[in-house]
C-alpha cells in the first residue's frame, strides 16, 4: 500500500536533485490528469502539455536533426540525429540546410564503421514523442557519445493504438534502416545497429530484438534503461516501493491495461516476457544487452529478473544496477548516476560496433 503523499515527497527529495524532483513531479501530476478511470486518455490535452522542440537541421553543439516519414501507410515518423562537421555547421539559409539533409539521405555507405542507434522513447506506451524535449536532449547526447546516427521512432501510442502497434512500428523502423545505404558502414557496408529505449521504449527494444533474432537480422546490442516489464504476481520491490519514488502500482496497472489486448492480463508475454505465458530465448542469436536498472524504481525486481532470464538462456548481459537512482535519472546531467551510465553506454557501443 502506498504511503502518504507527504512522506513520499520527502523520500524523493532526499535522493534526487531539486531539478530532477521538479521535472518528474510535474510529469506525475500531468500524467494523472490525462488518465481517465474508464481507460481512455486525454490525448488533445496531452499533446498541448507535452514540452516539445522542432527538429533543427542547423547544428547545435555539433548535432543536427530532421524529421522523416519512414512508413507512410501508418504515418510513422522518425527524428534522425547526426554529427555535423565544422564547415556544415557554418551553413546559413534554408537551401544550405536542406541540401545537406537530402545529400545525407541519398548518400553512400560510410567507409568507417558507424553505429546506428534506433531509439524508442519512454512514456509507458501512452505519453511523449520523438520531439519531446527530454528525449530530444537524450538523443543528442547519444550522438555525442557514439559518434554515430540516432533514429528516434515516433511510434503509435496507447490506448488508441494497443498491442502490437508499438512493436510493429519498431519493426518497421528497423526494416527501414536496413534498406538505407546511408546508414551502412565499414567493411561489407553493413548496418551496425543498436536498439535502445527507456521505460516502455526498453520494452519495445526487447521485443523488436527478439523478432530480429528470429528472422536472422544482426543487432549489435540492446540498451535498456529502466525497461518496463510487469506480471500478475507482485514482486518484493513493487510492494516495498509502491508510491515512494514518483510511481505507484496503480499507475503501472493503468498503462498495462491501456496497452495490452482488452482480454489480457499482466502475464501476457508483452508485459512478462519470461513469465508463464512467455517464451525462452535459448538457442536464438539474441544480441548482447546493456541493462540499466534504478534501485528505487518499483519495477527494479522485474528488470533484474529479466537480466537473469537472459543469462539463464545463455545470452551476454552487462547489468548496471544503480541502487540509489530513481526513474528518469538519465534525463538530466546533474548526478554521478547520469555521467557514469553515459560512459557505460559509450563503452558498450564502442565494444560491440564491429
pLDDT at residue 95 in the model: 52
Question: Is the domain 16-82+98-350 a CATH 3.40.50.1820 member?
Answer: yes
Q: Are 143 and 63 a contacting pair, CB within 8 Å?
A: yes
Helices (H), 50-111: 86-89, 94-105
Tell me the domain boundaries of the chain. Answer: 16-82+98-350
Strands (E), 242-324: 289-294, 317-322
Q: Which residues are catalytic?
A: 199
pLDDT at residue 127 in the model: 97
Kindly report the pTM of this predicted structure: 0.94
**Cell of residue 299, nine digits:** 519495477
Cβ-defined contacts of 39-48 (< 8 Å, 24+): 39/159, 39/254, 39/257, 39/258, 40/159, 41/126, 41/158, 41/159, 41/160, 41/258, 43/160, 46/126, 46/127
pLDDT band at 97 (very low <50, low <70, confident <90, very high): low
Mean pLDDT lowest among 5-14, 64-73, 97-106, 313-322: 5-14
Phi/psi at 82 (5° precision): -150, 155
pLDDT digits (tens, 9 = 90+) for 147-183: 999 999 999 999 999 999 999 999 999 999 999 999 9
Residue 5 has pLDDT above 90, yes or no: no
Average pLDDT value over all residues in the chain: 93
pLDDT band at 7 (very low <50, low <70, confident <90, very high): very low
- What is the rounded distance in angstroms from the CA atom of residue 200 to the CA atom of residue 224? 10
* Beta strands at 193-198 and 149-154: parallel, antiparallel or unpaired: unpaired
Amino acid at each position: 500500500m502506498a504511503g502518504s503523499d507527504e512522506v513520499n515527497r520527502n523520500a524523493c527529495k532526499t535522493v534526487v536533485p531539486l531539478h530532477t524532483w521538479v521535472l518528474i513531479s510535474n510529469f506525475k501530476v500531468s500524467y494523472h490528469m490525462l488518465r481517465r478511470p474508464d481507460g481512455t486518455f486525454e490525448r488533445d490535452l496531452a499533446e498541448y502539455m507535452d514540452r516539445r522542440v522542432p527538429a533543427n537541421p542547423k547544428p547545435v553543439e555539433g548535432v543536427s536533426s530532421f524529421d522523416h516519414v519512414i512508413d507512410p501507410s501508418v504515418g510513422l515518423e522518425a527524428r534522425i540525429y547526426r554529427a555535423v562537421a565544422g564547415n556544415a555547421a557554418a551553413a546559413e539559409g534554408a537551401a544550405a540546410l536542406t541540401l545537406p539533409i537530402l545529400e545525407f539521405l541519398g548518400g553512400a555507405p560510410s567507409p568507417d564503421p558507424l553505429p546506428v542507434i534506433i531509439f524508442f522513447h519512454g512514456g509507458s506506451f501512452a505519453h511523449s514523442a520523438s520531439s519531446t524535449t527530454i528525449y530530444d536532449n537524450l538523443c543528442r547526447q547519444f550522438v555525442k557519445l557514439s559518434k554515430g546516427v540516432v533514429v528516434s521512432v515516433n511510434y503509435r501510442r496507447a490506448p488508441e493504438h494497443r498491442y502490437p502497434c508499438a512493436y510493429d512500428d519498431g519493426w518497421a523502423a528497423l526494416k527501414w534502416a536496413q534498406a538505407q545505404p546511408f546508414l551502412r558502414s565499414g567493411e561489407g557496408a553493413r548496418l551496425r545497429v543498436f536498439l535502445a529505449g527507456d521505460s516502455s521504449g526498453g520494452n519495445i527494444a526487447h521485443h523488436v530484438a527478439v523478432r530480429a533474432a528470429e528472422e536472422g537480422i544482426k543487432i549489435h546490442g540492446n540498451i535498456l534503461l529502466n525497461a518496463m516489464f510487469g506480471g500478475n504476481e507482485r514482486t518484493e520491490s513493487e510492494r516495498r516501493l509502491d508510491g515512494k519514488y514518483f510511481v505507484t502500482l496503480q499507475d503501472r496497472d493503468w498503462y498495462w491495461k491501456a496497452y495490452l489486448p482488452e482480454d489480457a492480463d499482466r502475464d501476457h508475454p508483452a508485459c512478462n516476457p519470461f513469465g508463464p505465458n512467455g517464451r525462452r530465448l535459448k538457442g536464438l542469436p539474441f544480441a548482447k544487452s546493456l541493462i540499466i536498472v534504478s534501485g528505487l524504481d518499483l519495477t527494479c525486481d522485474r528488470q533484474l529478473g529479466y537480466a537473469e532470464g537472459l543469462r539463464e538462456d545463455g545470452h551476454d548481459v552487462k547489468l548496471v544496477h544503480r541502487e540509489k537512482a530513481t526513474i528518469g535519472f538519465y534525463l538530466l546531467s546533474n548526478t554521478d548516476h547520469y555521467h557514469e551510465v553515459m560512459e557505460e553506454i559509450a563503452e558498450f557501443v564502442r565494444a560491440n560496433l564491429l
